[in-house]
Amino acid sequence: MSFGGPQWPQEPQQQGQQGHQGYGYPPQPGPYGQQQQQPGHGQRQQPGYGQQQWQQQPQGGDGTPDWGALADASAAGNRRKRRLAIVGGVVATLAVGAVVATAVVATNKKNDEAKNGTPTPTGTVTATVSPTPAPTFSSVAPPPPPDPKDYISDPKKDKAPLTTDGLYPGRKLTMFGRPYQKGATSATTNCAAVTQGGLGTVLKKNGCERVLRATYVKDGVAITVGVAVFPSEKAALAAKKQATGGIAPLTGAGVKDFCHATVCLRRANSVGRYAYFTQSGFTSGKKVTTKDKPVFQASDDLATFVFNQIYARGKSQAKAAAAASAPPR
């Protein structure tokens, strides 16, 4: 930009640039690359900004100076000086601001390095902090909790008392909201004596130790469940697979004879060293068919109940063993 005189100097030179001079350096050539006129006769030198420019003195008609024209020229020169001084001050302010910004950045950089690095102590250190030792943990993993199935599968671990009152508690059983009234119960070591058909032979062959029975009644349907105890899980599983015939119905305690000279539903299953058998039918002597849902439902309820009772036996023994082996607090 031109202010009616010499061009404004170029922006301050960036570090690393070559071939250009910036603010405060010797002046650049005149505007538009023109050569400056050399002073001659009747001319005087007019000071400019960063370079020299020559102007012709105005002459009057009588050879005397034109004082009005000289006054106007002098006023215009003063205005140019004031403009150049203002702009120069702005540039100087910007230059000083750039220097200050550079100093701030450098200071921040130094602070960051001091913060992230190791600062040099300014005085004698009189206090020390001992590091807190890290907690130590044993490399030995704690043993897993005992498996309840282990306690109902191994006679060496399965030592809890086993009675009909413990296996079939109370006078009433409720499964999934369906109530069953308990009838007679019995326990015997003569396993074959409480069976029908070929089941007795199967139990004896696999080493049956005892059988605990109970009968339940609901809406004219009676169910006898018998739990046979064996010396191992393998023996109980074999008895289930080989089962034929069924557990003998247990009557008494308000339950009449049922499943005699008729068709009833017989089932067999096992868990651990226990095999359990159910026989379900109508107290009226009616034959059971596949359409008789109440009979199948009663058989399922009693089988589920017995399974839960046997598993709870193993769970309670496993819990007691874990508590006994736990270190004292």
Rounded to the nearest angstrom, the gap between the alpha carbon of residue 39 and the centroid of all alpha carbons in its chain is 88
Predicted local confidence at residue 146, as pLDDT: 84
Predicted local confidence at residue 109, as pLDDT: 44
> CA-to-CA distance for 209 and 251, rounded, in angstroms?
23
**Which residues of the chain fall short of a pLDDT of 70?**
1-143, 327-329
**Which residues face 65 on adjacent strands?**
59
> CA-to-CA distance for 316 and 159, rounded, in angstroms?
11
Predicted local confidence at residue 87, as pLDDT: 52
Residues 87-93: contacts with CB under 8 Å, at least 24 apart: 87/3, 87/8, 88/49, 91/23
Write the CA distances from 265 to 150, 223, 284, integer angstroms.
31, 9, 15
Statement: the pTM of the whole predicted model exceeds 0.75: no
> CA-to-CA distance for 25 and 84, rounded, in angstroms?
16
Predicted local confidence at residue 324, as pLDDT: 81
CB-based burial label for 53 (10 Å; 0-12, 13-18, 19+): middle
> CA-to-CA distance for 71 and 60, rounded, in angstroms?
14
Residues of the chain with CATH 3.40.1000: 149-315
Amino acid, res. 273: R
Please give the CATH architecture assigned to the domain spanning 149-315. Answer: 3-Layer(aba) Sandwich (3.40)
> CA-to-CA distance for 268 and 246, rounded, in angstroms?
8
Predicted local confidence at residue 257, as pLDDT: 92
Cβ burial 205-230 (10 Å sphere, 16+ → b, else e): ebbbeebbbbbbbbeebbbbbbbbbb
Farthest CA pair distance, the chain: 164
Predicted local confidence at residue 158, as pLDDT: 95
Return all residues near 204 (Cβ < 8 A) that are at least 6 apart: 191, 192
Question: Tokens 């140019």 — which residue?
Answer: 80
Predicted local confidence at residue 292, as pLDDT: 97
CB-based burial label for 149 (10 Å; 0-12, 13-18, 19+): middle
> CA-to-CA distance for 108 and 114, rounded, in angstroms?
10
Cα pseudo-dihedral 284, 290, 294, 296, rounded to 10: 110
> CA-to-CA distance for 216 and 294, rounded, in angstroms?
13
Q: Which of 326, 260, 248, 253 is nearest to 287 (CA)?
A: 260
- The answer to whether the CB of 206 falls within 8 A of the CB of 244 is no
Amino acid, res. 291: K
Phi, psi of 135 (to 5 degrees): -65, 145
Cα pseudo-dihedral 159, 165, 167, 168, rounded to 10: 180
Q: Which of 198, 178, 177, 184 is nearest to 268 (CA)?
A: 198
Predicted local confidence at residue 41, as pLDDT: 43
Amino acid, res. 144: P
